[in-house]
């Protein structure tokens, strides 16, 4: 079963259960992906994070209830799994620019988000970046974590600045480095919700190493990776990820790892993330 069908199955499930609790764990299980890769794949195919999509579909359902029923606004809010009437009203105003009560009275025309259909899509791209398959052995590493959000990173390039302005200044404090110029970046999502990111930046270390204050030990696990080489600006890295998860992987025949995480690898003697030209390997683990 290709990834388009897997994500479509979750979209179908969402629409059938808008009045029920829907969790990332459930959706990931339906898609037969880890939560991390379900989030990445859904966002690439749908063009937005899954919880944002669910919220829009529930608001559309609420519009129909305002039009076609006499349910109280608080009942509509709770039926669509908003925490309270106040939270529902704020979300409704933010999305439609009008309160639910005023909408019901005036019947103002609003734009409801349609259910997404991925049926018939087949983007097994043979153009663009083609990956190599590389085995990375397990490694010990020392580095730092950044807690940010998808929105903050998009607007302020927080990950780029963390690499080039924070970690780069402290890397010499780490004793026992192996290939000190090779920098690893690891992204994870969802320590609070799906918009949040934990980004780890680290270097490989040998047997005798130090862990400076404010840093941590990490393990880069053994895995087989699809390695996509990105050349371009740091801001264009997001486009490369979009190509990987929307165009190349879905019908590739490769099965994403259930436990691994993407690695970003670059040589700091050749690349600084603040520069217009970035050479970086994006490594996607496969089973």
pLDDT in tens, 93-135: 999 999 999 999 998 899 999 999 998 766 655 557 889 999 9
Identify whether residues 137 and 92 lie together within a single domain: no
Same domain, 196 and 156: yes
Is residue 223 a part of any domain in this protein? yes
Is 127 part of a structural domain of the chain? no
| Domain assignment of residue 67, yes or no | yes
* Cβ neighbours of 44 (radius 10 Å): 19
Q: Average pLDDT of the chain?
A: 89
Q: Give the chain's end-to-end CA distance (angstroms, integer).
A: 16
Closest to 215 measured CA to CA, from 269, 188, 176, 179: 176
Element (DSSP H or E) covering residue 77:
helix 73-79
CB 226 within 8 A of CB 286: yes
For residues 277 and 203, the model is more confident at 203
DSSP-assigned letter for residue 167: I
Written as six digits, the tokens of 9 are 């199955």
The answer on 223 and 277 residing in a single domain is: yes
117, part of any domain: no
Nearest alpha-carbon partner for 197 in 132, 135, 141, 262? 262
Last residue of a domain, one of 90, 106, 122: 106
Q: Model confidence over 141-193: pLDDT tens digits?
A: 999 999 888 778 777 888 888 888 888 889 999 999 998 889 999 887 655 56
- Does residue 201 contact residue 185 with C-beta atoms inside 8 Å? yes
Spacing of C-alpha 11 from chain mean position: 17
- How far, in Å, CA of 125 to CA of 3, rounded? 14
The number of CA neighbours under 13 Å toward the Cβ of 96 is 28
Structural domain range at position 23: 3-106
Provide the CA 240 distance to its chain's centre, in angstroms.
13
User: What pLDDT was estimated at residue 200?
Assistant: 92
| pLDDT score, position 235 | 75
Q: Of 106, 121, 149, which closes a domain?
A: 106
Lowest mean pLDDT among 5-14, 15-24, 26-35, 229-238: 229-238
Buried b (16+ CB within 10 A) or exposed e, 67-104: eeeeeebeebbbbbbbeebeebbebbeebbeeebeebb
**pTM of the prediction?**
0.85
The two tokens of residue 229 are: 């080489």
Say how many domains are in the chain.
2
Are 141 and 17 part of one and the same domain? no
Note whether 148 and 246 are same-domain residues. Answer: yes
């Amino acid at each position: 079963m290709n990834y388009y069908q897997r994500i479509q199955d979750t979209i179908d499930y969402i629409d059938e259960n808008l009045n029920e609790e829907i969790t990332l764990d459930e959706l990931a299980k339906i898609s037969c992906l880890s939560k991390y890769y379900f989030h990445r794949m859904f966002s690439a195919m749908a063009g937005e994070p899954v919880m944002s999509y669910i919220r829009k579909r529930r608001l559309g359902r609420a519009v129909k209830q305002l039009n076609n029923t006499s349910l109280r606004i608080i009942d509509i809010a709770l039926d669509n799994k908003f925490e309270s009437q106040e939270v529902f009203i704020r979300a409704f105003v933010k999305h439609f620019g009008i309160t639910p009560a005023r909408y019901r009275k005036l019947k103002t025309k609003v734009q409801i988000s349609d259910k997404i259909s991925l049926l018939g899509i087949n983007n097994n791209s043979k153009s663009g970046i083609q990956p190599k398959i590389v085995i990375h052995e397990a490694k010990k590493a020392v580095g730092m974590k950044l807690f940010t959000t998808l929105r903050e990173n998009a607007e302020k390039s927080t990950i780029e600045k963390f690499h080039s302005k924070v970690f780069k200044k402290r890397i010499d404090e780490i004793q026992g480095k192996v290939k000190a110029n090779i920098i690893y970046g690891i992204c994870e999502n969802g320590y609070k919700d799906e918009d949040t990111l934990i980004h780890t930046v680290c270097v490989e270390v040998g047997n005798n190493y130090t862990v400076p204050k404010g840093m941590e030990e990490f393990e880069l696990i053994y895995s087989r990776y699809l390695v996509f080489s990105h050349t371009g600006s740091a801001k264009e890295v997001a486009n490369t990820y979009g190509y990987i998860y929307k165009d190349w992987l879905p019908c590739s025949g490769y099965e994403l790892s259930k436990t691994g995480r993407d690695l970003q690898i670059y040589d700091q003697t050749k690349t600084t993330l603040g520069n217009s030209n970035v050479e970086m390997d994006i490594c996607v683990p496969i089973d």
